[in-house]
């Protein structure tokens, strides 16, 4: 199986580029922030600087680990689904499900290792740049030198390899199990995340307006609620499709296609929900907090500056990761439909009608992700605003929400339509023949 995995990677390296990119970015981010642990552990570093650096590494390192898993899992799931015919042929040739798992997991581990090694250089540069940001804001002493040591190196490689192997195992396990008994664990995790998120959000009212930890419960609550919604992505999409009053050929065909491909589109919808919820909640909570401090006439403490830096950094990481995940997933999902597009054109559909159908599908997908992401974000924003300012819905949420929704729409629509237009350049007969 190892030799077969190496042969597959050697002959078709293009199919692994999305996974390699996700592994590279994930390892680079984890190593960049965990190098702050190495830097904080040096001799002569004062306690304030060490605390700032360790907090940044711990908080963003945790987010980075979660995002690496989601990104690699999304890329590998698409990869495995596109190889369904190849895996079925291997099964018919005598390969067992265990052998197929070892092959796919072996491929993922090799790709993850390559991505981790390539990320070492950029992570060193990123760590130096991050340290300078903390020093420029006065959070870390100028005398502290950057250190890229064993903590950064080992955590970056280990987490990326574990995420790659775990995501590959889950993806191929779903593919080899067929339709038997799916969804039990996912449903349990979804409801657990929703309950935990609701509890965290409600606990906001236990705090007072001046508590330093006030922002934590609504922020974590919004994230947990978004994870719960993300895990329920296929069911949420089905519920939205049941209530859509679309008419016309493009609308009817879009709803039909989305209903049939709801499971395949779950990764894209998960990315949209997480991106919308975390970006909107984090930026809005930080904006409300900054405005409240400014209105009180007080100066921000070192801890407040640390929190602000971390919030903006986390959002930046999420934006980069989710954009990569969406572009990879949408490109793979759309380019995989070459035969379907060819059949539609042979049945009489014009290229414009095919593009129109893809556009309607993408709009429905984007609106669904943004709506549920905003719902999770508002569940955290409203309690925080009530406790912190005695208001209900802060004015800052409107501009931030529009900006987040615009980025999501631009990435999804742009990638889907550009990829579909590229696929339509192939003659319809040729597209059907090649895909067959």
pLDDT at position 7 is 53
pTM: 0.76
Q: Is 146 helix (H, G, I), strand (E, B) or coil?
A: coil
- The alpha carbon torsion through 67, 70, 76, 77 (nearest 10 deg) reads -160
- Determine the pLDDT at residue 200: 92
pLDDT at 371 over 90: yes
Residues 6+ apart with CB under 8 A from 378: 393, 397
Enter the tokens of residue 33: 């922030």
Sequence-distant (6+) residues with CB within 8 A of 384 are: 204, 214, 215, 218, 285, 288
What does the pLDDT read at residue 385?
A: 94
Q: Which residue would you say has higher pLDDT here, 320 or 160?
A: 160
Model confidence pLDDT, tens digit, residues 48-97:
888 888 887 877 666 666 666 777 776 777 677 666 667 777 778 777 77
Alpha-carbon distance 315 to 59, whole Å? 12
- Per-residue pLDDT reduced to its tens digit, 17-38: 777 877 888 888 888 888 989 9
For residue 386, pLDDT beyond 90: yes
pLDDT of amino acid 431: 67
203 vs 424: which has the higher pLDDT:
203
CA-CA distance, 226 to 238, in Å (whole number)?
18
Residue-level pLDDT at 380:
93
Distance CA 366, CA 372 (A): 10
* Contacts with 110 (C-beta within 8 Å, 6 or more apart), sequence order: 5, 6, 9
Query: What DSSP string runs through 15-51?
Result: GGHHHHHHHHHHHHHHHHHHHHHHHHTSTT--HHHHH
Asked if 164 and 109 count as a contact pair (C-beta separation under 8 A), the reply is yes
User: Looking at residue 165, what is its pLDDT?
Assistant: 85
Residue 232: both structure tokens together: 């329920």
Query: Residue 434 pLDDT > 70, yes or no?
Result: no
Structure tokens at 299: 């100066």
* pLDDT given at position 180: 46
Tokens of 89: 């042929």
What pLDDT was estimated at residue 8? 53
Which helix (H) or strand (E) segment holds residue 323: the answer is helix 302-335
User: Which two tokens mark 300?
Assistant: 């921000």
Scan for tokens 């719960």, then name that residue.
Answer: 228
Residue 400 confidence class, pLDDT cut points 50, 70, 90:
very high
Q: Model confidence at 6, in pLDDT bands (50, 70, 90)?
A: low
Structure confidence at residue 4 as a pLDDT band (50, 70, 90):
low
Q: What are the tokens at 210? A: 């001046």
pLDDT over 90 percentage in the chain? 17
Confidence of residue 263 (pLDDT cuts 50, 70, 90): low
**Structural tokens at position 311:** 């919030």
pLDDT digits (tens, 9 = 90+) for 162-195: 888 887 887 777 666 654 445 577 788 889 999 9
Alpha helices in 336-350 (DSSP H): 338-346
User: Is there a contact between 40 and 53 (Cβ–Cβ < 8 Å)?
Assistant: yes
Would you say residue 227 has pLDDT above 90? no
Inter-CA distances, 324 with 275, 356, 411, 417, Å: 12, 24, 9, 17
Across 251-263, average pLDDT: 72
pLDDT 10s digits, 280-290: 998 899 899 88
pLDDT of 39 reads 92
Q: How far apart are CA 223 and CA 226, in angstroms?
A: 5
Across the chain, mean pLDDT equals 80
Task: Give pLDDT tens digits for 189-214.
Answer: 889 999 999 999 999 999 888 887 78
Higher pLDDT, 245 or 405: 405
At 53 the pLDDT is 86
The 10s digit of each residue's pLDDT in 90-130 is 778 777 777 778 888 888 888 888 989 999 999 999 899 88
pLDDT digits (tens, 9 = 90+) for 313-361: 777 777 777 777 777 777 777 777 777 778 878 887 788 888 888 888 8
Q: Which residue has the tokens 């095919």?
A: 354
What are the distances in angstroms from CA 16 to CA 9, 64, 107, 250, 321? Answer: 8, 21, 9, 33, 17
171/365 Cα distance (integer angstroms) = 22
């Amino acid at each position: 199986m190892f030799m077969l995995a190496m042969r597959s990677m050697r002959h078709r390296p293009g199919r692994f580029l999305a996974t390699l990119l996700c592994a590279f970015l994930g390892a680079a981010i984890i190593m960049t922030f965990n190098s702050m642990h190495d830097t904080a552990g040096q001799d002569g570093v004062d306690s304030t600087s060490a605390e700032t650096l360790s907090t940044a590494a711990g908080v963003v390192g945790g987010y980075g680990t979660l995002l690496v898993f989601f990104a690699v899992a999304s890329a590998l799931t698409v990869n495995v689904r596109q190889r369904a015919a190849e895996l079925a042929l291997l099964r018919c040739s005598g390969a067992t499900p265990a052998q197929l798992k070892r092959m796919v997991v072996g491929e993922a581990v090799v790709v993850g290792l390559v991505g981790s090694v390539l990320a070492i250089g950029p992570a060193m540069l990123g760590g130096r740049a991050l340290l300078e940001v903390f020093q420029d804001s006065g959070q870390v002493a100028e005398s502290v030198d950057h250190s890229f040591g064993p903590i950064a190196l080992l955590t970056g490689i280990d987490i990326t390899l574990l995420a790659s192997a775990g995501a590959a195992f889950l993806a191929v396990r779903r593919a080899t199990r067929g339709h038997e008994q799916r969804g039990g664990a996912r449903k349990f995790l979804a409801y657990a995340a929703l309950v935990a998120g609701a509890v965290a959000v409600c606990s906001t009212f236990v705090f007072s307006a001046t508590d330093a930890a006030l922002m934590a419960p609504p922020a974590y609550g919004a994230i947990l609620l978004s994870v719960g919604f993300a895990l329920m992505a296929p069911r949420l999409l089905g519920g939205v499709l049941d209530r859509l009053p679309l008419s016309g050929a493009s609308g009817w065909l879009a709803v039909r296609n989305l209903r049939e491909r709801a499971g395949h589109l779950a990764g894209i919808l998960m990315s949209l929900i997480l991106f919308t919820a975390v970006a909107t909640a984090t930026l809005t909570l930080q904006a409300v907090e900054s405005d409240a401090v400014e209105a009180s006439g007080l100066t921000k403490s070192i801890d407040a500056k640390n929190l602000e830096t971390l919030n903006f950094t986390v959002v930046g990481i999420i934006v980069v990761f989710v954009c990569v995940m969406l572009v990879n997933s949408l490109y793979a999902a759309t380019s995989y439909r070459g035969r379907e597009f060819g059949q539609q054109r042979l049945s009489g559909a014009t290229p414009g009608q095919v593009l129109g159908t893809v556009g309607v599908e993408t709009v429905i997908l984007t609106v669904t992700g943004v709506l549920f992401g905003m719902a999770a974000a508002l569940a955290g924003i409203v309690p925080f605003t009530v406790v912190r300012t005695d208001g209900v819905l802060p004015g800052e949420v409107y501009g931030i929400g529009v900006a987040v929704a615009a980025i999501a729409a631009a990435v999804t629509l742009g990638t889907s339509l550009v990829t579909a237009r590229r696929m339509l350049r192939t003659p319809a007969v040729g597209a059907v023949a090649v895909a067959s």
